Structure 1
Amino acid sequence: MLLEHTVSTGTLRRQEHGKIPHEPVAYRADIDGLRAVAVLIVLLFHTGISPLRGGFVGVDVFFVISGYLITKVVWQELQQGTFSLLTFYERRTRRIFPALVVTVALTLLCAPLLLFPSERTTAVWTGLSALTSVSNLYLAVETLGKTGYFAADVYSQPLVHTWSLGVEEQFYLVFPLILFAVAGFKRHHAGLVVAAIALASFLFGVWLTIANRDLAYYIPLVRAWELIAGALLVFTPLPRLPARLRDVLATLAILLIAGSAYRFHGGMSYPMAFPGFVAIAPVAGAVALIAMGGAGGSYVNRFLSLPPFVGIGKISYSLYLWHWPIFVTVALTTARAPTMMEAAGLVLASFVAAYLSWRFVEQPFRQRRLGRTARSLWMQAGAAWCVVCVLGLGIWLFTTAAPQTESDRLASYITYDDRVTYRRETCFLISYKQTAADYASDTCLSPSSVKPNVLVMGDSHAAHLWSGFNTSLPQAHVMQATSSGCKPLVGTPGERECLSLMRRMFEQFLPETKPDVVILSARWADYDLPLIAETIRQVKDKARIVVVSGPIVEYQRPLSRVLAQVAAGRSDNLLTESRVTAVARRDRDLQALVEAAGAIYVSPYRLLCPDSGAACTTTVDGVPLQWDYGHLTAEGSKFLAESIIGTGAIPGAQAWQAR
């Protein structure tokens, strides 16, 4: 995120083809108001209690604003012949570095009190890479290197939001040089070159989002077109449009932004995965609002120019920086989502921190009360960078050298390696980056002619059952057809490759093989219920026994972390308070539907939580049953499989156990 702040009020002169016309570049209050909208969308999204599931698009709006304002200044200076790369980076440093270094320093000082070793290590390296403008690249590599199917819980990473700063700063290492290269062109010709670069970035982003959307989220080449979209307004100014048309276009623009924040969500699958082509919506909304403000304004621009919006816009950078460490601190302490009142308190605390940061950190440097000259600024920035690096490295060394406590051991399961247990990328496909051709049929789906055949089908909540049943049923042959986010339902929406795998199972494998037992398992939602009954109806004659495994107990924070907090001295009540209560109701509703449809229902939830008012079974031989919000460890999978078999719910299964 954020951004060259407001362009100073006054008049700059632009030299173009021998002429030096006057062109005023005045402060625009509506752009500060648009910043306020963007940061409020992000804040509400991060509270976890608002309906804005796509609040991450606020960052895309910030990218557009940044691209417009900075390109306008740089292009005018290039035309005047006054542009200096060193001066440009001095301005960027004054704008970005002071508040960032204070945020990182205070966050790292608190890290030993708040975070467990693995979390602390990630926080240190994220913070240090943020100060070097590469936190997005660090997080991309760290995400690719994750041993678990899911990335680390973002609520354990107080500096993860600095990725957007890295994207911007890397963009501005290159983009001024491109502007310099086209500075001698006519403005519309320069615009065509810049537009071609934006198109290439957009097409690359669409491709990479399909190939690996986790990586696409952090890579500057994917996001460059969003900043350039704002920059293009400098090269293609709109004429003054009729007032009514401006009002209509501005209304549509703000609805695009609001609609994206409401309708988008992190679980969107191909072809709607973000940041693919759907990112056009919030970007177009931001571009249109800026354009309407420059083409005469509209009632939306005037509304955004009201003092409350302008005030929030002015502190939006510090507000973005400080809100997430504050939110994470409370989330980790309570091990649950905030209540409405707590969320309001978090937002208020963020505003207080942001104002103090803006008033006493940002402004002194921007107004040159501190770091008055470029030389003094670089010296102070370098000294601050060195101090925070020493602090971070000291925390990291202390973390690696300190003896492991019981709480540290339990917390280490947050980064659990599920590759072998789930047979990830072999029998458990990652739908958004693998194809059905990657599914190893010979390994995962070859029926036995001498043993009873058991087939586990579904998403990650089916994949985590396979090792348990495979270990507990040595006299049976346990097969696996699983893919991330892929529910074993006839007619379900989902990733293209998931649907391809499930069609193959329902239309070819099941009719041809007729396994002895089919176990359907997924992270069921209420909207799945109508499809479950139809799926059972179609599968009943294609398997001797059809079993539906209900929802498993879920926690609002990783169970391994909550267990570590309890081991560190917190009350056992934390385990109950962190549990997701809605699962129990869904479990009852699903059982009634499955049994009415003539299939067998097993309830992992009740096997682990027989007493709804007490803590559930959470460990076996000192190992957490679940490592994140709900996925099983190998030990947890075996424990649950044996519990299911022990109930007699699967006819014949007890005979397939080791004798």
Structure 2
Amino acid sequence: MKEFDYSVNGLRAIAVLMVIAYHFGLPFTSGGFFGVDIFFVISGYVITLSILHKLEANCFSTFGYFKSRFYRIFPALASMTFVTLAVSAYILFPADALRSAKHAMASLGFISNVFYWKEVGYFDVDSDYKPFLHTWSLAVEWQFYILWPLVVYVLHKLKRIAPFIMLLGILAGWGLAMGLSPRINFVFYMMPLRGWEFALGGLIALIPAAHPLRSKLPLLSAILGFATIAANTAFYSENTLYSPLHAALVCLGAFTLIFFNRRFSQTPLKLAPLQYLGTISYSLYLVHWPVYVLYKQYAFRSLGGADILLMGALTLLLSHLSYKWVEQPFRKPSSFFKPLRKYVLLLIVLLCVALSAYVMQTDGKTGRYGEKENVLIDYFQVANEEYHAKYEGAFPQNDEEQWEEGRHKDMPCTYDNYQLKSAEDPKITQCILSNVQAQQTQKHVLIVGDSNGKNVFEAFQSAFPDIGFSMLLHSGCAPATSKGCFPHLEQQLSYIFDNAPINGVILSARFSNQSTDMMEHTASFLGKAHKPFLIVGATPTLLRNPDMVMLNAGKAIEDRQFTLPLNEAYYHADIVPNDAALQKIAQSYQGYFYDKKETLCPEGLCYIKRSDYEKPLFLDSHHLSEDGLEILGNALKKDQAVKSFLSNL
């Protein structure tokens, strides 16, 4: 192996260790997911260099290129998919197993990034129960492979100006990602918004290895490269979603290590452990996430240090086996195996398809439950369908252009899957102003929040029919402008206040596993605007959905009462401290605070079912059922803080 290859291989090891450490929850790795960005830079460099060498030797073959890439990527992916599916079918709860069967097929088709873009984000709570989530990056990489040979061919013809053309493309691609950063899921998952990272690696390949610039300051460049990557890994805000700006810093760190470090022979990247991990880095990446998801589900508790060590050891063992018995035989087959490998691979794919079909045909139950358990599972499925049929709907959706009273009255006005054009965006403001006008009530309250806020919106509508309620909805977002959430919120509220008789504002979100950092800005703004406001506290958010908790506890749907202690064994640990912070913010700006825990978790015991109600209070880990909404609505009518807020409108 050439010296430069050692550096690239060592950098692969650093990238995969960053990702694994982040996923396993190790301290000072909040930006570890940027390891994927480093992989993209490396891929861009390696693939571009390989294509250029073959073009210069006049031996490039499109078929040979795709065949090589296919046998590099697909066999290990297909093998991981089959094993993960088989284990998931009997470890994951039915809803997760069913979803995973669908995701497995998307992964094998290299389109999983599109699936995940349309679902909740990479950083959402539910991500911990998607064993194929990490395959989004392989989909992006394969999509890059399809387009890149033509790009390199054109650049090869341009010769001297090729690096400048590439640099312009990089800047344009990064600028586009920055411009679209409010649509964070789209920017995170879509190949066109990641292409600039591959191109940055490709730029290195376009500049000759003998160029004088590449031998300058090897020690300083290595220090800067490592420092940039380390700083963004260790000190990236845990409350900040993916940022193209920080991704650019990490990618530049990787660029620096590859571009300038060719002759820096003492680089730590040559250390033997890093070389070994770099060699098996692809299998490490494939294996680590299913190990985490399935282990966490099997343990069904918060994971500690011993669990992390065990998961790490299991990941290393399985990755070594995958590299030795899957990657190597398919990439460098023996004379005996070479004519057989396509049939073996076809068999693995057919087994994946058959297993996925079985899981989907059984709705994820896979014949492992008795009648009592199946009744419980079916109840929650039907309850979810009934709830969504009754309450689903918002404006604008599906490219709707015009708010219609008969269709959209009393629905939330949503930022979801919609690119806000300005603070006075006509669709959003039209929705709020039209709702207020159509309600014909003396008092109007605006609710700002996520889907938990929508629960509160529905409870207030039911509890106080004489007051008009409208809502600004952004799923997964606390009611404040932060990365990817509620863009231009304060400016938009100013516009709404100037054009509609809004008497008060309610701020409501999950506030669990969700940042409250920017809430003070919203509260301060409302205080200065002299608008009475009420903050509704955190939702007691289960670590798993209630059907799964009840199954694990051996409970039946007809059991009259089921409670759980509000502790870290069952609930997210940040609920109590977040409520304390929110209450302090409300008091600081003369607002009001309603503690949702007092209703749902009196005296530290949280109701999953209440003896005076027939059905469970929750549909999933944090959304209320119709019975839960009724209980919340009744509690709101009696709460002193709510009464004071409404009387002050």
Both structures adopt the same fold (TM-score exceeding 0.5): yes
1:108 and 2:85 matched: yes
Aligned to 1:548, the other structure's residue is in SS state: strand
Could you say which residue in structure 2 is the equivalent of 1:471?
A: 462
1:91 and 2:58 matched: no
Aligned match for 1:398, one of 352, 362, 371: 362
Q: Is the Cα contact below 8 Å between 1:428 and 1:482 reproduced in 2?
A: yes
Could you say which residue in structure 1 is the equivalent of 2:506?
A: 519
Could you say which residue in structure 2 is the equivalent of 1:216?
A: 187
Cα distance change of structure 1 residues 505 and 32 upon mapping to structure 2, 3 Å threshold = same
Aligned to 2:32, the other structure's residue is in SS state: coil
Indicate the RMSD between aligned Cα atoms, in angstroms: 3.9
Q: Is the Cα contact below 8 Å between 2:216 and 2:260 reproduced in 1?
A: no
1:236 and 2:207 matched: yes
Could you say which residue in structure 2 is the equivalent of 1:381?
A: 345
Measured after TM superposition, the shift of residue 112 of structure 1 is: 2.0
Cα distance change of structure 1 residues 345 and 92 upon mapping to structure 2, 3 Å threshold = same
Could you say which residue in structure 1 is the equivalent of 2:630?
A: 638
Measured after TM superposition, the shift of residue 110 of structure 1 is: 1.5
Cα distance change of structure 1 residues 337 and 433 upon mapping to structure 2, 3 Å threshold = farther
Q: Report sequence identity in percent.
A: 25
Measured after TM superposition, the shift of residue 522 of structure 1 is: 4.1
1:163 and 2:136 matched: yes
Cα distance change of structure 1 residues 446 and 114 upon mapping to structure 2, 3 Å threshold = farther
Q: Is the Cα contact below 8 Å between 2:170 and 2:200 reproduced in 1?
A: yes
Aligned match for 2:221, one of 240, 246, 249: 249
Inter-partner Cα distance in structure 2 for 1:36 and 1:161: 17
Could you say which residue in structure 2 is the equivalent of 1:429?
A: 414
Measured after TM superposition, the shift of residue 35 of structure 1 is: 0.8
* Cα offsets for 1:226-276 (capped at 9, x unmatched): 12211221111363569882222222222222233334468647xxx53x3
Q: Is the Cα contact below 8 Å between 2:463 and 2:636 reproduced in 1?
A: no
1:29 and 2:29 matched: no
Could you say which residue in structure 2 is the equivalent of 1:494?
A: 482
Cα distance change of structure 1 residues 528 and 519 upon mapping to structure 2, 3 Å threshold = same
Cα distance change of structure 1 residues 494 and 151 upon mapping to structure 2, 3 Å threshold = closer
Equivalent residue pairs, number: 610
Instruction: Supply the AA of the counterpart residue of 1:610.
Output: P
Inter-partner Cα distance in structure 2 for 1:483 and 1:201: 27
Aligned to 1:69, the other structure's residue is in SS state: helix
Instruction: Supply the AA of the counterpart residue of 2:30.
Output: R
Could you say which residue in structure 2 is the equivalent of 1:351?
A: 316
Measured after TM superposition, the shift of residue 621 of structure 1 is: 4.9
Could you say which residue in structure 2 is the equivalent of 1:297?
A: 264
Cα distance change of structure 1 residues 536 and 399 upon mapping to structure 2, 3 Å threshold = closer
Could you say which residue in structure 2 is the equivalent of 1:21?
A: none
Aligned to 1:479, the other structure's residue is in SS state: strand
Cα distance change of structure 1 residues 535 and 180 upon mapping to structure 2, 3 Å threshold = closer
Could you say which residue in structure 1 is the equivalent of 2:599?
A: 607
Q: Is the Cα contact below 8 Å between 2:228 and 2:249 reproduced in 1?
A: yes
Could you say which residue in structure 1 is the equivalent of 2:535?
A: 548
Measured after TM superposition, the shift of residue 37 of structure 1 is: 0.7
Cα distance change of structure 1 residues 193 and 504 upon mapping to structure 2, 3 Å threshold = closer
Could you say which residue in structure 2 is the equivalent of 1:287?
A: 255
Measured after TM superposition, the shift of residue 324 of structure 1 is: 0.6
Q: Is the Cα contact below 8 Å between 1:427 and 1:482 reproduced in 2?
A: yes
* Cα offsets for 1:505-543 (capped at 9, x unmatched): 35862897462x54333455664686587467546x544
Inter-partner Cα distance in structure 1 for 2:44 and 2:390: 41
Instruction: Supply the AA of the counterpart residue of 1:94.
Output: Y
Q: Is the Cα contact below 8 Å between 2:478 and 2:516 reproduced in 1?
A: no
* Cα offsets for 1:313-366 (capped at 9, x unmatched): 111111111111110012223445422332222222211211121122222333
Measured after TM superposition, the shift of residue 370 of structure 1 is: 7.3
Unaligned runs of 5+ in 1: 1-8, 10-24
Cα distance change of structure 1 residues 27 and 377 upon mapping to structure 2, 3 Å threshold = farther
1:340 and 2:317 matched: no
Q: Is the Cα contact below 8 Å between 2:446 and 2:502 reproduced in 1?
A: no
Cα distance change of structure 1 residues 241 and 507 upon mapping to structure 2, 3 Å threshold = closer
Inter-partner Cα distance in structure 1 for 2:590 and 2:253: 51
Cα distance change of structure 1 residues 597 and 70 upon mapping to structure 2, 3 Å threshold = closer
Inter-partner Cα distance in structure 1 for 2:494 and 2:153: 59
Q: Is the Cα contact below 8 Å between 2:450 and 2:478 reproduced in 1?
A: yes
Aligned match for 1:314, one of 261, 276, 279: 279
Measured after TM superposition, the shift of residue 502 of structure 1 is: 3.2
Inter-partner Cα distance in structure 2 for 1:557 and 1:648: 32
Cα distance change of structure 1 residues 479 and 382 upon mapping to structure 2, 3 Å threshold = closer
Aligned to 2:276, the other structure's residue is in SS state: helix
Inter-partner Cα distance in structure 2 for 1:627 and 1:150: 21
Measured after TM superposition, the shift of residue 188 of structure 1 is: 2.8
Unaligned runs of 5+ in 2: 397-410
Inter-partner Cα distance in structure 2 for 1:557 and 1:551: 17
Cα distance change of structure 1 residues 164 and 581 upon mapping to structure 2, 3 Å threshold = closer
Inter-partner Cα distance in structure 2 for 1:217 and 1:382: 31
Q: Is the Cα contact below 8 Å between 1:30 and 1:305 reproduced in 2?
A: yes
Measured after TM superposition, the shift of residue 283 of structure 1 is: 1.4
Measured after TM superposition, the shift of residue 633 of structure 1 is: 4.3
Inter-partner Cα distance in structure 2 for 1:533 and 1:452: 21
Measured after TM superposition, the shift of residue 66 of structure 1 is: 1.4
* Cα offsets for 1:406-465 (capped at 9, x unmatched): 135436778984993574656343278442523212344348665444443445443331
Aligned to 1:587, the other structure's residue is in SS state: helix
Q: Is the Cα contact below 8 Å between 1:57 and 1:282 reproduced in 2?
A: yes
Q: Is the Cα contact below 8 Å between 1:48 and 1:337 reproduced in 2?
A: no
Inter-partner Cα distance in structure 2 for 1:447 and 1:520: 22
Inter-partner Cα distance in structure 1 for 2:43 and 2:384: 36
Cα distance change of structure 1 residues 228 and 542 upon mapping to structure 2, 3 Å threshold = closer
Q: Bigger shift: 638-647 or 503-512?
A: 503-512
TM-score (norm 2): 0.81
Q: Bigger shift: 581-590 or 462-471?
A: 581-590
Cα distance change of structure 1 residues 422 and 258 upon mapping to structure 2, 3 Å threshold = farther
Q: Is the Cα contact below 8 Å between 1:408 and 1:564 reproduced in 2?
A: no
Aligned to 1:51, the other structure's residue is in SS state: coil
Q: Is the Cα contact below 8 Å between 1:444 and 1:481 reproduced in 2?
A: no
Inter-partner Cα distance in structure 2 for 1:556 and 1:350: 24
1:225 and 2:209 matched: no
Cα distance change of structure 1 residues 567 and 198 upon mapping to structure 2, 3 Å threshold = farther
1:261 and 2:233 matched: yes
Cα distance change of structure 1 residues 414 and 123 upon mapping to structure 2, 3 Å threshold = farther
Measured after TM superposition, the shift of residue 569 of structure 1 is: 8.4
Inter-partner Cα distance in structure 2 for 1:190 and 1:241: 17
